[in-house]
Amino acid sequence: MNSYRQPGVVLTDRRFTVPLDHSDPGGEQIEVYGREAVATSRAGEELPWLVYLEGGPGFGARRFVGTEAWLGRALREFRVLLLDQRGTGLSTPANRQTLPLRGGPREQADYLAHFRSDSIVRDCELIRQRLTGGAPWTVLGQSFGGFCAVRYLSSAPEGLAAVLITGGLPSLDAHADDVYRAAYPRIQRKVAAHYARYPQDVERARAIAAHLAEHRTESAGHRLTPEGFQSLGIMLGSGSGSHQLHYLLENAFVRTPGGTELSDTFQEALRTAASFAGHPLYALLHEAIYGQGERPTAWAAERVRAEFPQFDAATALAGDGPVLFTGETIHPWHFDVDPALRPLRETAELLARRTDWPVLYDPERLAANEVPVAAAVYHDDMYVDTADALRTAAAIRGLRTWVTDEYEHDGVRAGGPRVLDRLLALVRDEI
């Protein structure tokens, strides 16, 4: 194990070998990485563990510098494990470069079926036994990490001392169609709020979408399209996202000897924001996280979008209405325009058609829950439906909610120590 220091914290690399398929513990093994963090002043002490599960799916744990965001608050009393969930970060990678080692698309899809929250929780339980000697630990789940935490409560509550969830209470039974049917109106509200704040962006967005529709545009092999441009709306779910989007749009065009063109600066920013090179599992598994039972997800976001024609860029450009941005939605065209996804198109199709997804949540076990649980619910969260979150909160015995409009979906990061402090006080009945 390698240990090293940053201001106020000692970090240690930890690697764990776990079964690819937990129903076959003697079969193929993969590696899962976790970064241990402990306050410099408490490095020699026996401390309870907190494991952090990042949002996603498909993102490794956030790379903090020192004690920024919520980490400093956690280090006052915990030894923290920042876990790179299987397939992400420094764990055995799953991407266009490595997945061909599995074989063809069918073998790749079967492999990736083991990368949902059920397998992540089984990984956590093996790791917990090795780190804590069997003592339960506290889980902090952000967004999809909260989905994993609810799976944890459904399948292995004996491993949990407490659960803290930020923006991540999933519906227990909604199909992906239901998720996106609720999502598009939320996205439209966020876009309307952005245009109300920055009315000059209405014409800028129309001009950019029109240019991309009329001119084939590529940046580093990534095809830039009106639909890809619309996907920048994913930024609107964070506290500063509207402002960041405005700054991105304000220098979209530049005058050249050949006329007005999209600036290199804007093209690079759009390509970077739209690329899945750093998190391909997000695109491959995003709808699969809602899969339960025999009904396929079948490109739910694409199919449901047809029910909301106001999101069609061509229709908007043919009239005088605004071009609406989209949000946390994955579409087949992502696998055509993005070189990081293009080789995985057939794999994605097989996952979309899959009809044997295990059920993830156990309502009876959740109704009998005895683990202290607290959840921050953001009152108009763009990524997780608030009504679904509150229904799930009511279905988990003893769960305490903090419903707030002070933060967007990234509150646990943007709020520094305040969000974690509030949730810890709730699970300890201090407030």
- Residue 72 is predicted with a pLDDT of 96
Identify the pLDDT of residue 327: 85
pLDDT of the residue at 1 = 77
Report how far residue 163's alpha carbon sits from residue 143's, in angstroms, rounded to the nearest whole number: 13
- Per-residue burial over 48-86, b if 16 or more Cβ lie within 10 Å, else e, is ebbbbbbbbbbbbbbebeebebbbbbbbeebbbbbbbbb
Closest-CA residue to 219 (of 253, 254, 265, 258): 265
Sheet holding 137-142, edge to edge: 3-6, 9-19, 29-39, 79-84, 49-53, 137-142, 160-166, 373-378, 400-404
CA 185 – CA 384 distance, rounded (Å): 12
Burial class (CB in 10 A: 0-12, 13-18, 19+), 292: middle
**Same structural domain, 307 and 233:** yes
Q: Are residue 245 and residue 295 in the same domain, yes or no?
A: yes
Q: What is the pLDDT of residue 416?
A: 84
Please give the Cα distance from 282 to 77 (Å, whole number).
32
Give the number of domains in the chain.
2
Name the DSSP letter for residue 396: S
Same domain for 61 and 168: yes
Structural domain range at position 185:
176-353
Instruction: Report the catalytic residues.
Output: 143, 356, 409
Give the pLDDT score at 55: 96
Do 89 and 124 lie in one domain? The reply is yes
Number of residues that this document lists for the chain? 431
Mean pLDDT by 10 residues, the chain (431 residues): 93 98 97 98 95 97 94 97 98 98 98 98 98 96 98 98 97 97 97 98 98 94 96 96 97 93 96 96 98 97 97 95 94 98 98 97 98 96 96 98 95 93 97 91
Alpha carbons 14 and 32: distance in angstroms, whole number:
9
Q: Do 323 and 222 share a domain, yes or no?
A: yes
Tell me the whole-structure pTM to 2 decimals: 0.97
Claim to verify: residue 279 and residue 142 sit in the same structural domain: no
Q: In this structure, are residues 274 and 232 in contact, taking their beta carbons and an 8 Å threshold?
A: yes
326 with 373, same domain: the answer is no
**64 and 168 together in one domain:** yes
Element (DSSP H or E) covering residue 14: strand 9-19
**134 and 181 share a domain?**
no
* Domain termination residue (choose one: 336, 353, 370): 353
Domain limit, last residue, from 353, 374, 402: 353
User: Do 158 and 46 share a structural domain?
Assistant: yes
> What's the chain's Rg over C-alpha atoms?
22
Orientation angle between helical segments 144-155 and 117-132, nearest 10 degrees: 70
Answer yes or no: do 138 and 241 share one domain. Answer: no
| End position of a domain, from candidates 311, 337, 353 | 353
pLDDT at site 2: 93
**What span, in angstroms and rounded, lies between the C-alpha atoms of 331 and 369?**
37
DSSP 275: -
Q: Give CA–CA dist 399/12, Å, rounded.
A: 33
Residue 82 belongs to domain with CATH number: 3.40.50.1820
8 A C-beta contact, residue 225 and residue 232? no
pLDDT score, position 324: 98
Q: What is the pLDDT of residue 119?
A: 98
In degrees, rounded to 5, the angle at the alpha carbon of residue 278 between the alpha carbons of residues 277 and 279 is 95
Token pair in block for residue 266: 């804007």
Q: Annotate 72-115 with DSSP letters as a single string.
A: HHHHTT-EEEEEE-TTSTTSS--STTTGGGG-SHHHHHHHHTT-
Q: Are residues 79 and 155 in the same domain?
A: yes
Tokens of 426: 């709730």
Alpha-carbon torsion 149, 153, 157, 162, what sign? Answer: positive
What is the C-alpha to C-alpha distance for residues 213 and 318, in angstroms, rounded to an integer?
Answer: 12
